Structure 1
Amino acid sequence: MEWQQLEYFRAVAKTEHFTKAAEQLAISQPALSRSITKLEEELGVALFDRIGRSVQLNRYGKLFLRRVDRALQEIQDGADELRQMKDPYTGTISLAFLMTFGLSVLPEVISSFNRRYPQVEFALYQNPTTSIIEQLVQSEVDLCIVGPLDSMKGIAWHKLIEEELFVYVPAAHRLAAAEAVALSELADEPFIGFKRGYGMRTLTDRFCAQSGFEPSIRFEGDDVATVAGLVSSGLGVTLIPSFSGIDPGKIRRLRVSQPQCRREIGLAWMKDRTLSSAAELFRSFIMEEFASSH
């Protein structure tokens, strides 16, 4: 069994199509078919069910794919570690973060880190919480910035910051002149929220439930700027973190007096996965940054 065979198998397993996999691998389809057939003969079982021109992983193939993914990732991690042993201050850090966290804080942290380690590069992914966790578990990212993950087995989480959430209303809203409001005062208002699977949507639903109502979501957005823009157009109210650049002539920020609306943001990584030297540098750096300045 060769490493190349495993890479070929994974490509077919992901695409479930020999032609597409062969194109991705830049080899001929007959050569790919022979490689998979040889692998199946060595294992003594068929890994795919053939359905016309397509293939589908069977139960043997699904079990084997989990092991192959882990094995190839270990090999890749080992190669990365060896390269970075030569120069630990180079390499690429893959980082996924919340849609509502990348407006100002993260760019400042990355800029500060790059001033100290200018040869380290970043691959950044801005996603909802559910996608971020999947990326982390599947080894697609080294680190991620998300809300608390206390119940997630195998994932380490370190709190970086706790921030207040505010109600934003249109400037002409009946409560626009208030300094603070109870969330229950907005029970009959249309809400501009985030899509399900986003951490802010979960928090909005939770805080509204604590106030005795279920928010009536009129529109759903993917980012703070879109949500705030819809609020400024008079289409509803929202609960989001503070952000700069708002036009006070169109939108107003109100503190929430009841319940206490705050969220925690932290850094997460897989406990049993060895980080590259560059990722370890950034993990230590960002923890120190937030410990000293936030």
Structure 2
Amino acid sequence: MELTQLKYFQALARHKNFTQAAKSILVSQSALSRSIAKLEQELGTTLLSRHGKETELTEAGEKFLFHVDRVLREMEVARQEIKMDNGGEGTVSVSFLHSLGDTYLPLILSRFHARYPHVGIKLNQQNSAVMSEEIMEGDTDICLCSMLNGDDIAWMYLWSEELFLVVPDSHPLAQRETVRLEEIDGEPFITLKTEYNLRQQVNQLLDLAESQPQVIFEGDEVHNLISLVAAKLGVSLLPHIPCTEQMGVSYIPVSFPACKRAVGIAWNTRRPLTPAAICFQQFTINYFRDHQDAE
């Protein structure tokens, strides 16, 4: 079985017509027909039902196409990775959640740049709603975000991020090892605006705990929220941001409910990724997969 046979079969499965498929891969209809017949002979089964020049996949053909698509996709990814490893250039546009700019993102970028110094990265910090629009419109290649919904959006889990109760050092709960969210019922609460996915998750966690703190501020920047907590204006529920304890805040683990959010990588399945974007996508997925395996 040859790679060319798989490409021919994929083209015919997509077009369902010998004439159109042959034109798309720049071969004669007779050459395409011979290739498909040889493939079916090698597999010992019929892959296509023929109705003149029109075709329809059999059940075996549907199953085979699933694996063919996967093989050819992996081959293209491998080709692009090798190209980048050999000094290939390009630029990838990456959008990310506000809270990731201080945590995993700098680590990923530094390691990616060390591996692929010729690949440029255009960064864009946005909330989840805007990222969904950007990825659908093709304004960004890759998003590092909580789960995005959309017919043409693929999202893959990368890691879980714990959320902590953030309080001023002088707060009565500051010295506790753990807290329950019900303990902040009625407290002044500082949080992100409602369009942020993290805010929506925080609301769900508070509802689960039957806790109703009083929202006194809704903002866009995590550092601003922490600054207001440090100013003793209220408490918040956020992922840990490195080096912010020196501002005079404490991060307290929450015992109930379990406060974690899933962070993953998203891209548009309808728009082919550039070689640079494929390179960044695969590097990031492999980085977290290897990190989890090591644990």
Residues 181 and 211, structure 2, Cα contact 8 Å, conserved in 1: no
User: Residue 213 of structure 1 aligns with which residue?
Assistant: 211
| Residue type of the alignment partner of 2:219 | G
SS at match of 1:239: strand
Is 1:163 matched up with 2:164? no
**Residues 87-124 of structure 1, C-alpha deviations (whole Å, 9 max, x = no match):** 87211100100001111311111111111111110111
1:195 aligns with 2:163: no
Say whether the 8 Å CA contact 2:163–2:259 is kept in structure 1. yes
Matched to 1:155, the amino acid is I
Aligned to 1:56: none
Whole-angstrom distance in 2 between the partners of 1:129 and 1:249 = 28
Instruction: For 1:251 and 1:111, locate their aligned partners in 2 and report how far apart those are by CA, in whole Å.
Output: 28
Q: What is aligned with 2:18?
A: none
Corresponding position of 2:257: 259
| Match in the other structure for 1:289 | 287
Counterpart-to-counterpart distance in 2, 1:103 and 1:244: 7
Tell whether the 8 Å contact from 2:146 to 2:263 is kept in structure 1 after alignment: yes
CA distance in 1, matches of 2:281, 2:183: 41
> SS of the counterpart of 2:156?
strand
| Separation (CA, whole Å) in 2 of partners of 1:99 and 1:246 | 15
> For 1:289 and 1:227, how far apart are their aligned partners in 2?
30
5+ long unaligned stretches in structure 2: 1-79
* Partner AA of 1:246 in structure 2: T
Give the match's secondary structure for 2:171: coil
Distance 1:189 1:287 in 2: 40
Any stretches of 5+ residues in structure 1 without a counterpart? 1-80
Matches within 5 A, 1:93-104: 93-104=92-103
State the TM-score, normalized to the length of structure 2: 0.68
2:99 aligned counterpart, secondary structure: coil
Structure 1: which 4+ aligned runs deviate by more than 6 Å? Answer: none
CA contact (8 A) 2:181 2:209 kept: yes
2:121 maps to 1:122:
yes
Report the alpha carbon displacement of residue 287 of structure 1 after superposing the two structures with TM: 0.3
More displaced, 274-283 or 101-110? 101-110
Aligned partner of residue 173 in structure 1, secondary structure: coil
Q: Which is greater in Rg?
A: 2
In structure 2, give the amino acid aligned to 1:130. Answer: A
Cα offset, 1:168, TM superposition: 0.6
Question: Residue 110 of structure 1 aligns with which residue?
Answer: 109
Q: Match of 1:139?
A: 138
Residue deviations 1:225-245, cap 9 Å, x none? 111111011000000001211
Q: Report how many aligned residue pairs link the two structures.
A: 210
Matched letter for residue 180 of structure 1: T
